[in-house]
Amino acid sequence: MNIITDILPESVEADGGSYPIKTDFKVWLKFYSIMTDKEKSPAERATSAILCCFDGDKSKKLPKRLDDAVSALFRFYSKGADEECGKIASKTEKVFDFTEDSGYIYAAFFEQYGIDLTKSSMHWYRFLALLNGLSENTQLRKIIAWRSANLSEIRDDKKRDFYRKMKSIYRLKSGGADAFTEKDIANELSKAF
């Protein structure tokens, strides 16, 4: 998809039909939060995601199969996230989290683009493109670099000690687990339905 020339999607395909969804980035950050919430059961996460993301103002109808509905939502979420966020996060170790890094995301957008994310609305794919375009000088990108650094490859002792300290200070509370993937969602859906 070309974010500049293509019309950004406002619906998802499921159950042989097209269903309007909310496309604002805040909705999809909430989707991420819902789907990664270990305190909710898989069924609760699926239900919350459906209620959060489908646009009831534009259509009163949902896909008949709830597993298809959640899978369609994940395809929308991950199409943008895979294409854009994959560029700033390591595939082997989790070095970025939308929830834990929300303050750094906010600060980086305000610093670089002058965008106050609390007062803005934008399509999820636009948000991800801007996130991916953040300068290496923003604190968020520095933190991601520190988290993703392979200490064994740093030869300078002072630099390695600095990176070790930064990794410790800015480590993710959710640990170094793999990123939120379609496989994770499939596993959760199989539990829910």
**Selected residue with higher pLDDT from 58 and 174:** 58
Residue 180 CA to residue 15 CA, distance in Å, equals 24
**Average pLDDT over the chain, rounded to an integer:** 86
Residue 71 CA to residue 175 CA, distance in Å, equals 26
Residue 153 CA to residue 158 CA, distance in Å, equals 13
In this prediction the pTM is 0.84
Structure tokens belonging to residue 132: 């991916």
Residue 117 CA to residue 115 CA, distance in Å, equals 6
Find, among 100, 99, 131, 101, the residue nearest to 115 by Cα: 131
Listing DSSP states for 83-128 in one string gives HHGGGTS-SSS----TTTTHHHHHHHHHHHH---TTT---BHHHHH
Out of 19-28, 78-87, 103-112, which region has the weakest mean confidence (pLDDT)?
Answer: 78-87
Domain boundaries, the chain: 11-135+179-192
Confidence (pLDDT) at 146:
96
Confidence (pLDDT) at 90:
40
Highest mean pLDDT among 31-40, 50-59, 112-121: 112-121
> Residue 17: in which H helix or E strand, if any?
strand 17-20
List, for residues 47-101, the tens digit of each pLDDT value. Answer: 999 999 999 888 888 888 888 899 899 999 987 555 545 444 444 578 999 999 9
Packing angle of the helix pair 25-35, 124-132 (nearest 10 deg) = 80
- Interval 158-179 mean pLDDT: 84
pLDDT band at 193, cuts 50/70/90?
very low
Residue 7 CA to residue 28 CA, distance in Å, equals 18
